[in-house]
Amino acid sequence: MKAPMDTPRPSPLAGMWYPADSQKLRLEIEHYLESATTRVDAGSVIGLLAPHAGYRFSGSVAAYAFRLLQGRELDTVVVIGPLHRPIAEVTGTVITSAHRAYQTPFGSITVDHDLINQINEQIPLAYCQFDSEHSVEIELPFLQVVLRSDFKLVPLMLRDQSLATAQQLSAALAELLVNRNALIVASSDLSHFYSDDQAQKLDRRVLQAVAHMDAASVIALDESGQGFACGRGAIATTILATSALGAGRSVILNHSTSGAINGQYSRVVGYGAAAFFHDA
């Protein structure tokens, strides 16, 4: 598919995963950002890891990542997340949007179909309409608040989260983003539905692999059951692509679980935030 649909992708999350009212949404995001204190020098950030649960649960952790972008201007943001549910009549390992834009309470974000078509020449993409996938959209209101100017979006949803797909997609992204003012966001939660004590151990292993920028270990930990990340392929792709673009280090910014929000520690979901920094 070469030409985008005329209609923007409507938000299936507004009013459920985050406030539908733009003023309430802005106040909530700004509260998270103000509470996310960090001394990290943000000047050379080229990639982020952020969670993708409802803001009530993961917004305070996500803010540690997005806070590093406050006041930045970016031309392109690539958001990579897992595909949580099958999309009817859409096949393929990597899926993108057929719409011309994503709609949020803050307005629409243009989808960069010129860049998507270039990616499609190197790794086949499948195009979907009216999807309900949350892993890409949940990151967008944060981006709209922290960035100083409009940006174009490349939404990518991974049905196949193998290392081979991560390697192929990251190679395409690294080649096409090298001369662009761009950022890559890996959208992923961590362990799901373990006790908080178990989750802390499982998440620590994954975050250690992220800190070491070890893409293969992120996927291997999940496949072996020694750690979990629903967006393991998204994380691996981001590690590999940012490394190829000059990132030499990763910093874990924050980690928490849903138990810290609802007080239910017997069955939690883990959330982590990290940033990838250019060496220069």
Q: What is the pLDDT of residues 26-63, one digit of tens each?
A: 999 999 999 998 777 766 999 999 999 999 999 999 99
Is the Cβ–Cβ distance between 271 and 262 less than 8 Å?
no
User: Is residue 227 predicted with pLDDT exceeding 60?
Assistant: yes
> 125-151 burial, b for 16+ CB within 10 Å, e for fewer?
bbbbeebebbbbbbbbbbbbbbbeeeb
The CA distance from 207 to 200, in Å, is: 10
The tokens for 91 are 């096949």
Higher pLDDT pick, 19 / 40: 19
- Report the pLDDT value the prediction gives residue 253, as an integer from 0 to 100: 97
Residue 2 has pLDDT above 60, yes or no: no
pLDDT tens per residue across span 60-78: 999 999 999 999 999 999 9
State mean pLDDT over 250-269: 96
Q: What is the pLDDT of residues 129-188, one digit of tens each?
A: 999 999 999 999 999 999 999 999 999 999 999 999 999 999 999 999 999 999 999 999
- How far is Cα 139 from Cα 50, in angstroms, rounded to an integer? 8
- Is the separation of the CB atoms in 106 and 29 below 8 Å? no
The two counts, helices (H) then strands (E), for the chain are 10, 11
Q: Indicate the domain borders of the chain.
A: 22-278
Whole-number CA gyration radius for the chain: 17
- Per-residue H/E/C for 90-143: CCCCEEEECECEEEECCEEEEECHHHHHHHHCCCCEEEECCCCCHHHHCCHHHH
Q: What is the pLDDT of residues 111-131, one digit of tens each?
A: 999 999 999 999 999 999 999
Give the contacts of 57 (CB within 8 A, at least 6 positions apart).
Answer: 258, 261, 262, 269, 271
Report whether 145 contacts 10 (CB < 8 A). no
- Phi, psi at residue 39, to the nearest 5°? -105, 15
Condensed to tens digits (0 to 9), the pLDDT of residues 243-255 reads 999 999 999 999 9
What's the confidence (pLDDT) of residue 89?
74
Residues 177 and 78: beta-carbon distance below 8 Å: yes
Distance from C-alpha of 121 to C-alpha of 80, rounded to nearest angstrom: 18
Q: Round the average pLDDT of the chain to a whole number and report it.
A: 95
Residue type, 211: A
Antiparallel, parallel or unpaired: β 268-278 and 107-110:
unpaired
Domain 22-278 listed as CATH 3.40.830.10: yes
Instruction: Sort residue 261 into left (φ over 0), alpha (ψ -120 to 50) or beta.
Output: alpha
Structure tokens at 144: 């709209």
Tokens standing for 199?
């989750």
What pLDDT score does 214 carry? 98
pLDDT at site 158: 97
Q: Whole-angstrom Cα distance, residue 162 to residue 232?
A: 8
Identify which has the larger pLDDT, 279 or 210: 210
Taking the model in full, what pTM does it have? 0.96
